């Protein structure tokens, strides 16, 4: 039974279609992230749910009730903004207390609740401090406590960590998830950081150009991207623009290379497809004299040290691939060495491409 539903939402700004038919369904206590580059419509959708904007078409339903026409101050939702949302003339405690004060519940039990929440977000020691005396991370904790104080039905977060330092971001996202699980509150989260979305969500909806490209669990999004955009946006992926040679055996051809891919079975011959292989599923070995099935030979072009993992770029046979392996093993394959990359026939995924289409969408590097 879904608790929060976005039904066929449309929103246009002039000629721009910011939202073009968004459908999302959240169960109670679920955490869903709307993930995508800037301009994809995720914040627009969130603001529609919060009530700061009205959809041109579609409905928003909470626990069976249509709230599309309800004013934002009556929707009983808690929102955490990206930055600057704490009232500067009030200290942390007074900020958290605000929603209760409006409802006349800040005396007695209310006071205890405020203290509990501040403790929950780890700020008991700073309750009397004013926003300008708090760091960015602390401010967002106060903002979270403030949104939770009113016991909202739905928690909305609009890129709450984007303005913070990297380390604080990782720390705080874990805490947000922990608190959310503890309180069991239905949560809608907006972010452009795919690592963040994958790390803490029950479900992820990848958005682009006002539509949802794919929605599913983080694992699904990662291992089985449904569209070229999702494949590109989530994690790093090797993409081989290929043609199906034999739909029965699963043989495909890419830049002269013949590969066997299980996922190609059942496709029609001549179909243009995109073969997707995660860098960590490529097996790299030093080249030997014989040839190996389902592999391609090349030379290590670059090595990029990423900590526990090293990323190797291998180039050969008119194509280049990225392979991730443990740093220890990568030491044995220095730049310039000849290697053989084995492509796992089960590990590769396939997406259809239009036969004469433009190919892969070009993503603005600034979007990620």
Partner 1 sequence: MAAQALRPDPVSGRRRLSLGWLATLPFFAYVIAFLFVPAVSVMVGAFQDKANHATFFNVHELLQHPYIDAYWGSLRISLITAVAGALFGMLVAYAAVRDGTPRWIRSVLTTFSGVAANFGGIPLAFAFIATLGPLGLVTTWFRNGGYDLSVRWPQFQLFSERGVELAYIYFQLPLMVLVIAPALDGLKREWREAASNLGAKGWQFWRYVGIPVLMPSFLGAFILLFGNAFAAYATAYSLNQGQNIVPILIGNYYTGNVLDNPHLAQALAFGMFAVLAVMMLLYIPLQRRAARWAK
Residues that bind partner 1 (CB under 8 A): 50-52, 71-74, 76-79, 81, 83-90, 98-99, 101-103, 132, 143, 146-147, 150
CB of 83 to partner 1, least distance (A): 7
Q: Which helix (H) or strand (E) holds 236?
A: none
Nearer to partner 1, 43 or 242 (CB): 43
CB of 74 to partner 1, least distance (A): 8
125: left (phi over 0), alpha (psi -120 to 50) or beta: alpha
Nearer to partner 1, 84 or 305 (CB): 84
CB of 10 to partner 1, least distance (A): 22
CB of 112 to partner 1, least distance (A): 19
Nearer to partner 1, 123 or 142 (CB): 142
Residue 79: CA count within 13 A, CB half-sphere = 21
Q: In which residue are the tokens 């670059």 written?
A: 302
Nearer to partner 1, 78 or 347 (CB): 78
Q: Residue 268 carries which DSSP code?
A: P
- Is 22 exposed, middle or buried, given 0-12, 13-18 or 19+ CB atoms closer than 10 A? buried
106: left (phi over 0), alpha (psi -120 to 50) or beta: alpha
State the virtual CA torsion across 254, 216, 22, 41 in degrees, nearest 10. Answer: -70
Nearer to partner 1, 87 or 305 (CB): 87
Largest CA distance in the chain: 81
CA distance 368 to 365: 6
CB of 65 to partner 1, least distance (A): 17
Instruction: Report the candidate in 6, 82, 359, 41 with the shortest Cα–Cα distance to residue 207.
Output: 41
Nearer to partner 1, 126 or 257 (CB): 126
Instruction: Report the candidate in 127, 138, 93, 128 with the shortest Cα–Cα distance to residue 111.
Output: 93
CB of 30 to partner 1, least distance (A): 21
Nearer to partner 1, 89 or 291 (CB): 89
Q: Distances from the Cα of 320 to the Cαs of 49, 309, 364, in angstroms?
A: 44, 19, 21
Per-residue burial over 144-172, b = 16 or more CB atoms within 10 Å of its CB, e = otherwise: bbbbbbbebbbbbbbbbbebbeeebbeeb
CB of 159 to partner 1, least distance (A): 12
CB of 104 to partner 1, least distance (A): 10
Nearer to partner 1, 53 or 241 (CB): 53
CA distance 274 to 237: 11
Nearer to partner 1, 101 or 260 (CB): 101
CB of 77 to partner 1, least distance (A): 7
Cα 172 to the center of its chain, rounded Å: 16
């Amino acid at each position: 039974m879904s608790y929060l539903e976005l039904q066929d939402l449309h929103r246009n700004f002039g000629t721009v279609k910011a939202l073009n038919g968004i459908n999302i369904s959240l169960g109670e206590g679920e955490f869903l992230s709307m993930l995508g580059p800037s301009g994809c419509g995720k914040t627009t959708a969130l603001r529609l749910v919060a009530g700061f904007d009205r959809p041109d078409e579609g409905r928003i339903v909470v626990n069976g009730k249509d709230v599309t026409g309800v004013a934002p101050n009556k929707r009983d939702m808690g929102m955490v903004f990206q930055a600057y949302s704490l009232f500067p003339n009030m200290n942390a405690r007074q900020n958290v207390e605000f929603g209760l004060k409006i409802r006349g519940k800040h005396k007695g039990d209310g006071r205890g609740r405020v203290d509990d929440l501040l403790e929950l977000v780890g700020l008991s020691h700073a309750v009397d401090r004013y926003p300008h005396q708090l760091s960015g991370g602390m401010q967002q904790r106060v903002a979270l406590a403030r949104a939770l104080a009113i016991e909202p039905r739905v928690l909305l977060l609009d890129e709450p960590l984007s303005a913070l330092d990297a380390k604080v971001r990782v720390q705080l996202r874990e805490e947000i998830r922990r608190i959310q699980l503890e309180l069991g509150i239905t949560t809608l989260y907006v972010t452009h950081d795919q690592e963040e979305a994958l790390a803490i969500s029950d479900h992820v909806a990848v958005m682009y150009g006002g539509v949802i490209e794919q929605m599913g669990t983080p694992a699904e999004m990662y291992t089985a991207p449904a569209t070229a955009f999702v494949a590109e946006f989530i994690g790093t992926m090797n993409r081989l623009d290929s043609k199906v040679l034999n739909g029965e055996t699963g043989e495909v051809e890419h830049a002269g290379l013949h590969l066997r891919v299980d996922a190609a079975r059942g496709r029609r011959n001549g179909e243009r497809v995109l073969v997707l292989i995660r860098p960590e599923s490529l097996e790299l070995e030093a080249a030997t004299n014989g040839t190996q099935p389902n592999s391609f030979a090349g030379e290590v072009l670059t090595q990029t040290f990423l900590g526990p993992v090293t990323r190797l770029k291998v180039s050969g046979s008119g194509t280049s691939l990225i392979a991730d392996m443990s740093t220890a093993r990568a030491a044995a394959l220095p730049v310039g060495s000849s290697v053989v990359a084995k492509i796992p026939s089960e590990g590769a995924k396939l997406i259809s491409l239009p036969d004469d289409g433009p190919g892969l969408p070009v993503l603005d590097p600034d979007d990620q």
